[in-house]
């Protein structure tokens, strides 16, 4: 009798759980939400394991969110026949990744870095935290953590509600319109359809967000401008400090190229008042041009290409998906025709 009661209770709990989970999944899909992966240290480690592919089979990308949004990994794979290895981190500096790749004598591949000046030239160390955390995890990842990652990936790839950044209870609570505590500045939670991410670690805004979510777009514009204003309050970095920083970057790019690797810099598109502020805070001749001169590297600045210069970032900082396709095609074209990089599908 006791076993029969327990069995009925277990069936009832399982049935209710299935109904609740299935209902929540159906509701999210009915609203138009799609699969988005967690930008975890495990996913970063999964991509980093591919950096030892031969130089003609892969390209490594690093930088900040503009690299993650603007570079379309599917288009890159289709055009080049290569594996795109996305190691960029939102709101972060590419320097820790550069140093790690330079120190790894087994890495002899191609590396492309985006130069978002406010992050690239941030020498405070704040922008190092996220990439360093990912690097530390990838170095110390256990077999159990790797197994857990593959299991999570299998589930994430089929269920929308497992997007913990948007649909977990903690994420939903963060969307509540709770005013910040006195004296504390809290940035609002990013809109759900602003920060979707696929398994390549490529971020994207949905067309619905770009075209119809005027409140969400305005919120993101305000966030970027608020961050830019915070940077304006900092005293200018002395020239000798910038020069020392660039020499350190050169030291690491030289280590990669000395092994037969290649390094290329991108200055991604930005627009509106954010781009105006970036020009004032980081004049091209004193930062971008100096970076290329000191390191002896080649680079591509969006201003030099009419089809990129005319693009307007909806929220001032990142390209919509259709423009990201054009941008990616242009990067491949410049690298293959002007710089002389060889790609499997273009040889």
pTM of whole model > 0.95? no
CA atoms within 13 A on the CB side of 35: 13
**Each residue of 20-53: pLDDT tens digit?**
777 877 777 877 888 888 999 999 999 999 999 9
CA pair distance 324, 213, nearest whole angstrom: 19
Would you put residue 223 in left (φ > 0), alpha (ψ -120 to 50) or beta?
Answer: alpha
Residue 38: strand, helix, or coil: coil
Which residues are within 8 A (CB) of 314 and not within 5 positions of it... i.e. 6 or more apart? 205, 210, 217, 320
Q: Where are the domains of the chain?
A: 1-31, 41-342
CATH number for the region 41-342 comes to 3.40.50
CA pair distance 121, 156, nearest whole angstrom: 35
**Each residue of 133-185: pLDDT tens digit?**
999 999 999 999 999 988 888 888 887 777 777 776 666 666 666 666 665 55
Among 319, 265, 328, CA closest to 116: 265
CA pair distance 8, 5, nearest whole angstrom: 5
Give the pLDDT confidence score for residue 345 in this predicted structure.
75
CA pair distance 112, 326, nearest whole angstrom: 18
- Average pLDDT across the chain, whole number: 89
**Each residue of 237-290: pLDDT tens digit?**
888 899 999 999 999 999 999 999 999 999 999 999 999 999 999 999 999 999
Give the pLDDT confidence score for residue 269 in this predicted structure.
96
Would you put residue 220 in left (φ > 0), alpha (ψ -120 to 50) or beta?
Answer: alpha
Give the pLDDT confidence score for residue 178 in this predicted structure.
64
């Amino acid at each position: 009798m006791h076993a029969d009661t327990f069995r009925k209770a277990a069936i009832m709990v399982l049935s209710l759980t299935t109904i609740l989970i299935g209902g929540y999944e159906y509701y999210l899909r009915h609203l138009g939400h799609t699969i988005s992966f967690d930008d975890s240290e495990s996913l970063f480690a999964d991509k980093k394991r591919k950096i030892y592919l031969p130089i003609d089979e892969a390209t490594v990308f690093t930088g900040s969110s503009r690299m993650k949004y603007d570079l379309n990994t599917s288009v890159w794979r289709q055009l080049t026949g290569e594996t795109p290895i996305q190691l960029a981190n939102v709101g972060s500096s590419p320097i820790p990744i550069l140093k790690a790749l330079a120190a790894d004598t087994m890495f002899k591949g191609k590396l492309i870095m985006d130069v978002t000046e406010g992050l690239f030239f941030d020498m405070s160390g704040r922008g190092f935290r996220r990439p360093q955390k990912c690097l530390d995890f990838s170095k110390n990842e256990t077999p159990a953590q790797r197994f857990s990652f593959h299991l999570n990936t299998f589930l994430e790839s089929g269920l929308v509600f497992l997007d913990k950044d948007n649909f977990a209870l903690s994420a939903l609570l963060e969307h509540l319109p709770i005013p910040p505590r006195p004296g504390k500045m809290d940035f609002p939670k990013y809109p759900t359809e602003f920060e979707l991410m696929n398994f390549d670690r490529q971020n994207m805004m949905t067309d619905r967000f770009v075209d119809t979510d005027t409140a969400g777009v305005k919120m993101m514009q305000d966030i970027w401008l608020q961050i830019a204003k915070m940077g304006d309050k900092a005293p200018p970095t002395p020239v000798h400090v910038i020069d020392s920083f660039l020499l350190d970057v050169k030291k690491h790019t030289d280590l990669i190229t000395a092994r037969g690797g290649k390094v290329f810099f991108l200055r991604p598109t930005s627009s509106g008042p954010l781009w105006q502020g970036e020009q004032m805070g980081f004049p091209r001749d004193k930062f971008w041009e100096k970076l290329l001169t000191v390191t002896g590297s080649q680079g591509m600045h969006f201003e030099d290409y009419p089809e990129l210069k005319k693009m307007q970032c909806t929220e001032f900082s990142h390209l919509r998906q259709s423009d990201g396709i054009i941008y990616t095609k242009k990067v491949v074209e410049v690298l293959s025709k002007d710089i002389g990089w060889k790609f499997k599908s273009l040889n």
